[in-house]
Amino acid sequence: MRLFPALVAVAATLILAACTTKPKQAETPKLAFAAEKRADLSQPGNIMSFPGPRGTLRGRTIRVGNLSDLILARGEVVLTFDDGPIPGKTPSILNTLDRHGVKATFFTVGQMANAYPHLVRDVAARGHTIATHTQNHPNLASMSFESAVAEIDKGKRSVAAALGPNRSRIAPFFRFPYLASTAALRRHLAMQGTVVVDPTVDSKDYFVSTPDQVRARTIARLEAKGSGIVLFHDIHSRTASMLPQFLDDLNKRGFKVVHLVPRSRDAEALIVAAVSQ
Ligand SMILES: [Zn+2]
């Protein structure tokens, strides 16, 4: 067991390295179903009060059963953290989120959940949404369909095992590593009742840059778009260290952080049934 932390560190390094490498076969998501069409956030009908008064950063909770539920009003931000959990950085991020009273969605990697199950439980216990992101973070678009499905399912099982009796806390939300998807996999996930939550604002916190550069870049993109599902990674120190100022900036600009949760317990039950097989 003494070797285990070293193995975990190697695994984390592999993920870090993999995340900074541009996927060869990444493709623009092609949506198979009309119900999966993303809301056009540029439409005037989606514009509400923005910028709003400075006040609480906490926004509404959105119950998501399919992609059509992912409609953000202007000024609304969804925080997502991929690839963790990992000691040090994930707990720091959780403390920052707690201080602002906001909730995020964590796209957890199965091997990280195996290594740090207590951190997965901590994320859930603090009220955040636990979603999945495969077992080993491969480029699913470069694999056979069967291997890709096995990767997705193994990731769910690992996260469920980490949560133990609270396995029903896994949301049926998924994100493709490198955002590299295929139409067949999207169709498969949709038929399972799993919602693929693609980011609309990439913080690019996986690039070598200072925490302040990550913060400023992400704020600028959110202001340009008016709202967004922000992609962060809770495995990076620069992300953990810029987050307090980033949330202060959001608050000053009148943004609200909204929380994505499964639309119904039925959806959670689907996932539990899937991981129990
Ligand atoms: Zn990832």
176 C-alpha to ligand 1 centroid (Å): 7
Residue whose C-alpha is closest to residue 141's, from 222, 98, 72, 196: 196
Q: How many domains does the chain have?
A: 1
Mean pLDDT within 82-94: 98
Within a domain: residue 163? Answer: yes
Among 105, 70, 107, 53, smallest CA distance to 255 is for: 53
- For residue 106, the SS3 value is strand
pLDDT tens-place string over residues 53-71: 455 999 999 999 999 999 9
Cis peptide before 85 (omega within 30 of 0): yes
- Give the pair of three-digit tokens for residue 169: 């806390």
Cα of 174 to ligand 1 centre, how many Å? Answer: 11
SS3 for 203? coil
Q: Is residue 32 part of a domain?
A: no
Residue 270 confidence (pLDDT): 53
Identify the domain containing residue 115 by its residue range: 73-276
Residue 45 has pLDDT above 70, yes or no: no
Q: What percent of the chain clears pLDDT 90, i.e. is strictly above it? A: 71
**Which of the following is catalytic: 100, 133, 137, 233?**
233
Residue 17 corresponds to which amino acid? Answer: A
Which of the four pLDDT bands, split at 50, 70 and 90, describes residue 126?
A: very high
Q: How far is the CA of 197 from the centre of ligand 1 (A)?
A: 12
Which residues make Cβ contacts (< 8 Å) with residue 121, sequence separation at least 6?
162, 163, 164, 166
46 located within any domain: no
Statement: residue 215 has pLDDT above 70: yes
Cα 133 to middle of ligand 1, angstroms: 7
Position 64 in a domain: no
Does 233 participate in catalysis according to the annotation? yes
Nearest partner of 88 among 211, 205, 206, 240, judged by Cα: 240
State both tokens at 167. 């396995």
pLDDT for 46: 35
259 is catalytic: no
Q: Which of 22-36, 143-157, 235-249 has the lowest mean pLDDT?
A: 22-36
Residue 21 contacts by C-beta under 8 Å, 6 or more apart in sequence?
Answer: none
Distance CA 183, CA 90 (A): 32
CATH, residue 271:
3.20.20.370
Residues with CB under 5 A from ligand 1 (ion): 82-83, 177
pLDDT at 30: 32
Closest C-alpha to 243, from 100, 122, 84, 127:
100
Whole-prediction pTM value? Answer: 0.80
Per-residue confidence band for 264, with pLDDT thresholds at 50, 70 and 90 = confident
Asked, for residue 91, whether it belongs to a domain, the answer is yes
CB neighbours (10 Å) of residue 21?
10
How confident is the model over 34-40, as a mean pLDDT? 33
Average model confidence (pLDDT) across the chain: 83
Does the pLDDT value for residue 277 go beyond 90? no
Q: Flag whether 67 is in a domain.
A: no
